[in-house]
A and B are shown apart, each in its own frame.
Chain A
Amino acid sequence: MKIRDLPEDELVVGSFACAGCGGILAVRLALKILGPETVIVTTPSCLLGVTTFYPQLAFKVPCVNVTFPSTAAAVSGVVAGLKRRGKEHITVLGIAGDGGTVDIGLQALSGAIERGDNFIFLCYDNEAYMNTGVQRSGSTPLGAHTTTTPVGEMLKGEDRPKKDMLRIVAAHDIPYAATASIGYPQDYLRKIQKAKETKGPAYIQVLSPCPPGWGYPSDLTVHLARLAVQTGAWTLAEYEQGKLTVKKIDHPKPLREYLSLQARFAHLI
C-alpha cells in the first residue's frame, strides 16, 4: 500500500490528543487500512481519555471501552457476540497502551491469543503510563526518567530493561505478530494489512512517541520514531508461521542522537 493510495476518509476525527501525539497517529493510520467495518475495543489510557468523553466519539466506528485489565477479554466477548449475529466480517480491533498491554492487560491478552479468537490487538507503545502522569510501565526502556523512576542520588531512572513483549506473544504461537514504528508508516500499514488478513489473533506493537511524556518538542514525533529504529533503540520485527525476522540496520546511528533529544534521558547524556 502506497501512502498516496490511502483512503482520504478519516475514521478518527475530533480527538483531544496533544499536538504531535504518536498514539493517535498510530490509530488513525491503522483505521485507514481496517476501514469502517471495524469495532474498537479499548481501555483506560490516553486514547480513551482523548476520544470518548461524553458526548464525544472521535471514531467513526463503534467503540467499546472496558476496564483497564480487560481489553482482550472484552475483545473475545465482542468476537463471540458478532459471530452470533453473523457479522464475522467485522474486524475487532483491541487497542491498549503499553501499560494496558504488557502489564495489567497481559493476562487477558494471553488468554485471548491462546483461545485463538479472530482479532487484532494494537499496542501503541509510548513507554510509560502517560494518561496518569508518566509513571513507568514494564515497557519503559532502561534509564528513562519517569515520575516513578525519578533521577536522584539513589536512582538513575528506570533500572530494568524493557519487557520483550513480542517474544511473549510469539511464545503463544500466535499466527501473526509484529513491531512497528509510526516513523515508518509504509512498513506499519503493511503489517496492519497482514494482521487484517490473518485468521486468528494478530498482535502489533507500534512505537508511538509522546511529546510531554518523553520531553521533546511536538514537531519531532516522527523524527524520533525514525531515529529509534535507526539507532537500534527500537527494532522492526515480524513473527510469522513460527519464524521471527528482525529488520537489520546496516549502519546504526549513535544512540546518543536519539537519547539527546528527549528530556527523559537527559541525565544520561
Chain B
Amino acid sequence: MREYLNGNEAVAHAVRLARAEVVAAYPITPQSTIVEEIAAQIARGEMEAEYIRVESEHAALAACFGAAVSGSRVFTATSSQGLAYMFEMLHYVSGARIPMVMAVANRGLAAPWTIWADHQDSVSCRDTGWIQLYVETAQEALDTCLQAYKIAEDPRVLTPVMLCLDGYVLSHTEEILDIPSQEDVDRFLPPYRPQVLVDTRRPVVFGVGAGPDIYPSFKKAQQEAMERAKEVIKRVDEEFYAFFGRRYGGLVEEYRCHDAEVVLVTLGAITGTAREVVDSLRREGAKVGVLRLRALRPFPVEDLRESVKSARVVAVLDRNCSFGYEGVVCTEVKAALFGLKQPPSVIGFVAGLGGQDIRKENIEGIFRSCFNSDV
C-alpha cells in the first residue's frame, strides 16, 4: 500500500506492523506525533497493545523494561531533553540485555532551547550500549524500525536499538511511502519469544548486582554482542531486501565512493543533499563520493576502511560537537583509519546545529576546501 506520510507516521506504522505489545512514552517535540499516532491506532482498534501513559521519559524506559522482562515486545520514542532524562535507564536496559526499539527524533539540546534537528542528543548517548541506526528517509525509518526488532531480538545480539531520524527534516516531512502488508511483516518478523522472562515457576532476577569478580564478564559479553551485531545488521538488511525489495547497505551506504578522491562521511537526512552535490561535482569531473554511516554503534570500522580505499581526503560532516575537541563522528573516523598504510587525511566539519540548514553550497564548499587542502 502506498501512502503519503511523514517519518513519524512511518515509525508509528512500523510499530503497529511489528505488533509491539506495550508502548510507554512521554511527549516531546519533534517525537510526539509518533506516539500520538500509535495512541490513535490503538484507539481506532487497528493496533492491539497496552499504552502506558507514563509521567516521564525515565519512567517510559523503566515501564518498557518491566514489560519486556515480562515477555512483551515494547516500544518507546523520545527526543533531546527526554533522551537525556533517560540516561540512567539507557545503560540499564542495554546492560540487562533487553532487546527493545526506541525511536529518537533527533533534536538539539538546551541551553539555549531549541526544538530543531541536530544529532547531539543521540550522539551523546553513544556509549550507553545501544545499537544506533541513523536513517535518511521516512521510508528507511519504517523499514529500519522493522529491521531493528529483528536485530535487537537476535539471540546473538540481545541489545536495544535506537532508531535515529532527524527532527522535522524526517519526522515531519512527507514522502510517498510503501507500507508493507501485515502478512509479509509477520513472515519477516516472528513474534518475540524471550528465552528468559518473568515466570513464577522459574524465578530469576533481572538487573542483578555483580561484584568485581563477575561484573567485567557481563560487560565483555555486551561488547561481543555488539561485534556480532555488525553481521546481524547486514544480514537482516539483506533479508529485508529479499522480502520487500529495499535495502540500505547494512552498516554503511556508499554513493560513488569506488574511485572518489574525496569522500564525505555523513549521518542521517543530510545525505540526500550531499548526493546531489556529488552528482553535480562529478559532472565537473571532480572525483567525489559520500559515505553514509547507517550504524554509529556498532561502529563499522571494516566497511568504512573499505569504502574510502581510493580517497585522499575524508571529510566528516558532524551535526554534533564534543566540546573541547571536535565532531564525534570525525574522531571516530580518524580512529578507524589510524594504522592504515597510506591513510587519507581526515577533515572535520561541524554544521547544522540546532536545525540550521545545511545547503548545497555548504557541502560544495566542504568538497572544494578538501580539494584545495594540500594535506
Contact = CB atoms under 8 A, between A and B. Distances in A.
Contact of B92 (A60, A66, A84, A115): A66
Contact of B209 (A36, A52, A79, A114): A52
A57 B203 contact: yes
A36 B55 contact: no
A81 B205 contact: no
A64 B198 contact: yes
A106 to B, nearest CB: 10
B65 A77 contact: yes
Nearest to B207: A65
Contacts of A115: 52-53
Nearest to B203: A62
B198 A77 contact: no
Nearest to B91: A67
B206 A76 contact: no
Interface in A33-72: 36-39, 41, 48-49, 52-55, 57, 59-67, 69-70
B198 A39 contact: yes
Contact of A73 (B58, B72, B74): B58
B67 A78 contact: yes
Contacts of A111: 54-56, 59
Contacts of B54: 73, 76, 111
Q: Give the contact-size bracket for chain A.
A: 35 or more
A53 B209 CA distance: 4
Instruction: Identify the interface centre among A61, A74, A78, A111: most chain B CB within 10 Å of its CB.
Output: A74
A256 to B, nearest CB: 40
Contact of B198 (A54, A82, A114): A82
Contact of A52 (B69, B205, B211): B205
A110 interface: yes
Nearest to B218: A54
Contact of A81 (B22, B203, B210, B211): B22
Nearest to A114: B55
Nearest to B66: A77
B66 A53 contact: no
A115 B211 CA distance: 37
A4 interface: no
Contacts of B211: 53-54
B15 to A, nearest CB: 15
Contacts of B58: 67, 69-70, 73, 108
Interface string B192-209: 000000111011111111
Interface string A81-108: 1111100001000000000000000011
Contacts, number: 163
A70 B57 CA distance: 11
Given A62-B200, A76-B54, A77-B67, A48 B62 contact: no
Contacts of B71: 81, 84-85
Given A73-B59, A77-B68, A78-B66, A54 B209 contact: yes
B237 interface: no
A52 B208 contact: yes
Nearest to A51: B205
Nearest to B209: A53
Contact of A39 (B24, B52, B200, B214): B200
Nearest to B69: A64
Contacts of A84: 21-22, 50, 67, 70-72
B70 A77 contact: yes
A75 interface: yes
B73 to A, nearest CB: 9
Closest 9 CB pairs of A and B: A77-B66, A81-B70, A65-B207, A111-B55, A70-B62, A73-B59, A77-B63, A73-B62, A74-B66
Interface of A: 36-39, 41, 48-49, 52-55, 57, 59-67, 69-70, 73-85, 90, 107-108, 110-111, 114-115
30 contacts: A41-B66, A52-B207, A54-B210, A57-B203, A57-B205, A61-B200, A62-B202, A63-B204, A64-B65, A66-B66, A69-B58, A73-B24, A73-B60, A73-B63, A73-B66, A76-B24, A77-B22, A77-B24, A77-B66, A77-B67, A78-B67, A78-B70, A80-B50, A80-B63, A80-B70, A81-B22, A81-B68, A81-B69, A83-B50, A85-B71
